[in-house]
Amino acid sequence: MIAIVDYGMGNLHSVSKALQKVGADNIVTSDADIIRQADKVVLPGVGAFGDCMRNLIQYQLADPIREVIDQGTPFLGICLGLQMLFEGSEEDPAVEGLGIFKGMIRKIQAPGLKIPHMGWNDLSFPAESPLFKNILAGSYVYFVHSYHAVPADPAIITAQAAYGNLVTAAVGRNNVQAVQFHPEKSSSVGMSILKNFKEMMK
């Protein structure tokens, strides 16, 4: 069973439906015990970094997320769910992130291009990730974001997109994988990514 973390924000039901389409049983929940016991955990997020982190703390779900990550449970962050894994964000410097990965979320630098970065963009893969098994370089996915991750260790970047400069599209280390784009809105490529997550082993 995959637990989708419900902290009052995010595109929870579209993520749930997409996982159902690839045959993954899932539950949308804010129950810390269900999250701790799940086979896999998904943290979606839409909106502003500070609001998402404040809600996560208010729902008392930050520590359960750290616990499942520490115990090796396969974990997928989506959009703001990726950003919250870092130490903080320029979007709301007063709010700390979960600190799973060292580094910060920075505003996209794309002179002459519109921010937010919105729409379809192709991916390149600087490092391997179980999420991108059998996904070809140049595959297109759907983005909506103004900020992206700048990890302290660039080796955790598993996918990038060119938008003015290179934008971090995915990061990962061991059981923790996260994407900045929306797989649930990314057609067959997104479904393949979610299927790959479903098949990740502990």
**CATH label of the domain that carries residue 159:** 3.40.50.880
The percent of residues above 90 in pLDDT, for the chain, comes to 97
Quick check: 22 pLDDT over 90?
yes
52 is catalytic: no
Is the pLDDT confidence value at 151 over 80? Answer: yes
Q: What is the pLDDT of residue 70?
A: 97
pLDDT tens string 116-137: 999 999 999 999 999 999 999 9
Reported as a pLDDT band with limits 50, 70 and 90, residue 202 is confident
pTM for the model stands at 0.97
Instruction: Kindly report the average pLDDT of the chain as a whole number.
Output: 97
- 3-class secondary structure, 119: strand
The sign of the torsion formed by the CA atoms of 121, 75, 35, 49 equals negative
Per the annotation, the verdict on 148 as an active-site residue is: no
CA 185 – CA 165 distance, rounded (Å): 23
Find the catalytic residue in 13, 52, 79, 87.
Answer: 79
pLDDT of residue 166: 96
Q: What percent of the chain has pLDDT over 70?
A: 100
Number of domains in the chain: 1
Catalytic residue among 52, 117, 145, 184: 184
Domain interval for residue 41: 2-198
**Can 145 be counted among the known catalytic residues?**
no
Is residue 9 very low, low, confident or very high in pLDDT (cuts 50, 70, 90)? confident
